[in-house]
Amino acid sequence: MPQADTPAMSNATLKELSAQLAAKACSSVELAQDFINKINILNKDLGCYVTVDAARTLAQAQAADARRAAGNAGTLTGVPLAHKDIFCAKGWLTTCGSKMLANFVAPYDAHVVERCDAAGMVTLGKTNMDEFAMGSSNETSFFGAVRNPWNRERVPGGSSGGSAAAVAARLAPAATGTDTGGSIRQPAALTGICGLKPTYGLVSRYGMIAFASSLDQAGPMARTAEDLGLLLNVMAGHDARDSTSLERLAEDYNRDLAKPLKGLRVGLPKEFFAAGLSADVQKAIEAAIAEYKKLGATVVDISLPNMGLSVAVYYVLAPAEASSNLSRFDGVRYGHRAAEYTDLLDMYKRSRGEGFGAEVKRRILIGTYVLSHGYYDAYYIRAQKLRRLIAQDFVDAFRHCDVIMGPTSPTTAFKIGEKSSDPVQMYLSDIYTIAVNLAGLPGISIPCGFDGDGLPVGLQIIGNYFDEARMLNVAHQYQLATDWHQRAPAVSQG
């Protein structure tokens, strides 16, 4: 078999790689080795991957080639991807970006990993992330900050920053991520790739280390909307092991990609274009909306009156759930255990004190406080009531429009360390994404331009419940008319 052209392989989309493998233009082993070579060169500087196991990856690739030779390959058999290090993968180090789990080797596979393995996909490694998915910049990881491939002095966003940076730098054609308050969409926007947060319950959380269980949702990250659909076809599906997993008939999320957008009603919330939005970001979003008008869409002015409360509501509910979920990390059965302690209680204190980073401790303390006697009604219950109002705003809005559009992030990628000492400013990075998680809705971010410093801008498209196919259609038609998603940082050619 002739050796495939290396740059063409690493710059190809999932769809293109699938076609190359089917045409025998390259083998899965060659493809995997190409990405391993690039990871070995660039990862030390970018910090995208926490764990790489070339022998394990190549063994999976060999099995995929054998499966193709036997004639029982699927669409994505032999295609590589990276997994966010929040997903348990049997035999792989699974750290969740924390010292607490720095030595934990998962004894089983997460549902998402099982589905990808069953499809014959090849795992390139586990990607870096904010510790226990708590962060918006990928600076809270025990293993160090991830750097944005477009500018290495900037953050890639978080918490799925390692996955986003890996896809942007062409160190993986696609990756899995998780989105609790915007952690797929915001890093996708800041790195110039596509990221999709599905409807809550569409993708099983089994084997995904929990942060805030009523908000966490796994989803795909890739370079095109079409690739997101291909990967979502693999990831989605009912799982009896997850009580929040929804029983729905399987569907092809790319079935409507070719549909024209004539008659599409695009809702523009006035709250998305208020104070705090960067002028460069607003300009790019307005240009994208103008392109949609050319494609046949009509614009409807709408309002989400309670959206301004979403950050406050989120930072009551998410820490409350985190304080409960993270109580299992106590140094007893797995994870970090302090070397010296006097008794059981002291072991708990020392192990958790040493194992958790500052942001995780902050959120555990906040969560414990709002759940404590005397404050539960004042904070937690009130936040749940406001969450219902936020969700109702979307229900009302979708009576007048088919999708909602606006910026994914109020700014482009900020400098590493710029917001580390100001948690409130960091939290406001997710002001446009959090409400979607509180409502359990699907959302997607796609590239739509650049700011004056050459940093990517992301357009957010929010759909109604289970409307992923329509969102992907809307995104795909825009990508047929523009080339923002084809732009690549210079480092990707390294």
Q: What number of other Cβ atoms are within 10 A of residue 199's Cβ? A: 21
- Between CA 390 and CA 378 the distance in angstroms is 18
* Euclidean distance between CA atoms 112 and 205, whole angstroms: 8
Q: b/e map of 346-377 (b: 16 or more CB within 10 Å)?
A: ebbebbbeebbbebbeebbebbbebbeeeeee
Which H or E element spans position 305? none
Burial class (CB in 10 A: 0-12, 13-18, 19+), 260: exposed
Distance from the Cα of residue 401 to its chain's centroid: 26
Q: Which two tokens stand for residue 270?
A: 């006035």
E strands of 168-297, at which residues? 174-178, 194-197, 218-222, 265-269
The full 3-state SS of 68-126, as one line of letters, equals HHCCCCCCCCCCEEEEECCECCCCCECCCCCHHHCCCECCCCCHHHHHHHHCCCEEEEE
221 neighbors 176 (Cβ within 8 angstroms): yes
Whole-angstrom CA distances from 388 to 245, 394, 440 are 21, 10, 11
Structure tokens of 177? 């991520």
Sign of the torsion angle spanned by Cα atoms 459, 464, 468, 472? negative
- The sheet that has 49-51: what strands, in order across it? 49-51, 122-127, 80-84, 174-178, 218-222, 194-197, 443-450, 456-463, 403-407, 265-269, 298-302
Q: Nearest 5 degrees, angle CA 200-CA 485-CA 217?
A: 15
Whether 119 and 112 have beta carbons less than 8 Å apart is answered as no
The DSSP bridge partners found for residue 83 are: 126
List the catalytic residues.
84, 159, 183
DSSP state of 460: E
Q: Are 405 and 293 spatial neighbours (Cβ–Cβ below 8 Å)?
A: no
